[in-house]
Amino acid sequence: MITAILVMSFVNAGAQTTDDDGKPVIYTCPLDTSLNGGKAFSSELARSLGGFSLAFMDTTTSKTVLSVYQSNGPEGLRVTIKYRYAASDADTQQAVQKGIVNYVKISATEATMARAFNFIFHENLQANQLSAVRSNGSPAKYHDNNCMYILEEADYRPGFWELTLVK
């Protein structure tokens, strides 16, 4: 009996919440929001993960905001947001250009990435279960819109993972 419960717990731990089409559902994400919404997402993610403070924000690359967070321990967190410009009112001559988020990449250690994944997908994964939901490009749903997510180990540093959400 105990073995059956343990097996069911492990099987369910890797299962993601999906929509009617079987696509994973993203609950917390700044895609299609303003650039300020994207920055607020970065801050809220860091706050929810606990122990992170903003080290610096880099806006030198066109249409890109990189937020780097540090903690007291060895864990790090980087959030890269890319955006496009859209006119807020295309019918007038005084249209105002507004940044709309269309790409988010989160880079973190395995333990931090599991917590970030749980924050975004409302899941309950442990760090050692990230491989079960690894993806090189899977369709997902966010507010009834289609997007893609990529979850993979980072090439640049062992033990780090990257989660990319793109419209």
Which residues form the domain of 86? Answer: 19-166
Predicted pLDDT at 76: 87
Counting the structural domains of the chain, the total is 1
Predicted pLDDT at 115: 96
Once rounded to an integer, what is the mean pLDDT over residues 77-90? 86
Amino acid of residue 10: F
Predicted pLDDT at 157: 82
Asked whether residue 98 is assigned to any structural domain, the reply reads: yes
The whole-chain average pLDDT of the chain stands at 84
Asked whether residue 44 is assigned to any structural domain, the reply reads: yes
Asked whether residue 4 is assigned to any structural domain, the reply reads: no
Q: In sequence order, which residues have a C-beta less than 8 Å from that of residue 99 and are 6 or more positions away?
A: 34, 35, 38, 63, 83, 84, 85
